Amino acid sequence: MRTRLRTLRIGERAYTWRATIGQVAGDGIDFHRCVRVRVWGAGKTGCALEADLLSKATSVGWTPAATDGSYPEPADVRSLVEHALALGWNPSALGGTFRLTEEHGLELPGFLLTDRLRDPDAPDPTGRVIRATRNQGVPEWL
């Protein structure tokens, strides 16, 4: 299967991005949809921006990832880029990766940043999703 690259223009610069769908395990038996977003602002040789997005969807069943269709919108990617630029990401630098992590505190309308894909000891995604959805007025029983 071919990887689809998308383009987003912010100011005078065109950013190329892709999103890879995966899943991340919770502390129990549940899995959540996780989307890894990579963004380049100066071609593939420039410093890439990378963020692992945990879906806030509360799908039906033990494994929310099985029925979750969440995917980042261009507005989500724009927010990632703008946040990373404010934190000092230099897309023109040669090589390397600038990672947005949980400690950066960015929350998108349908996603949270997660470190769980890289660090198995990172906070439980299930608990984080439950707390985030409670703050959005989702019924308490979820």
- Asked whether residue 33 is domain-assigned, the answer is yes
Residue 134 has pLDDT above 80, yes or no: no
Give me the residues paired with residue 33 across strands.
Answer: 23
Q: What is the per-residue pLDDT for 60?
A: 58
Closest listed residue to residue 48, CA positions, set 100, 123, 103:
100
User: Which residues make Cβ contacts (< 8 Å) with residue 23, sequence separation at least 6?
Assistant: 31, 32, 33, 34, 65
Residue 71 contacts residue 33 (beta carbons within 8 Å): no
- Asked whether residue 139 is domain-assigned, the answer is no
- Asked whether residue 1 is domain-assigned, the answer is no
Compute the average pLDDT of residues 67-88.
Answer: 92
- Asked whether residue 141 is domain-assigned, the answer is no
- Asked whether residue 142 is domain-assigned, the answer is no
As a whole number of Å, the end-to-end CA separation of the chain is: 36
Tens of pLDDT, residue by residue over 11-69, are 899 999 999 988 888 887 778 889 999 999 998 899 999 999 998 887 655 566 667 78
Residue 4 contacts residue 16 (beta carbons within 8 Å): no
**HSE, side-chain direction, 13 A CA sphere, residue 35:** 21
More confident residue, 60 or 118: 118
- Asked whether residue 34 is domain-assigned, the answer is yes
User: Which residues make Cβ contacts (< 8 Å) with residue 75, sequence separation at least 6?
Assistant: none
Number of domains in the chain: 1
More confident residue, 104 or 135: 104
Number of residues in the chain: 142
Residue 13 has what DSSP assignment? E
Q: 60 is in which domain, residue-wise? A: 6-134
Residue 7 has pLDDT above 80, yes or no: yes
Percent of the chain with pLDDT over 70: 87
- Asked whether residue 78 is domain-assigned, the answer is yes
Residue recorded with tokens 């890439």: 48
Compute the average pLDDT of residues 64-77.
Answer: 83
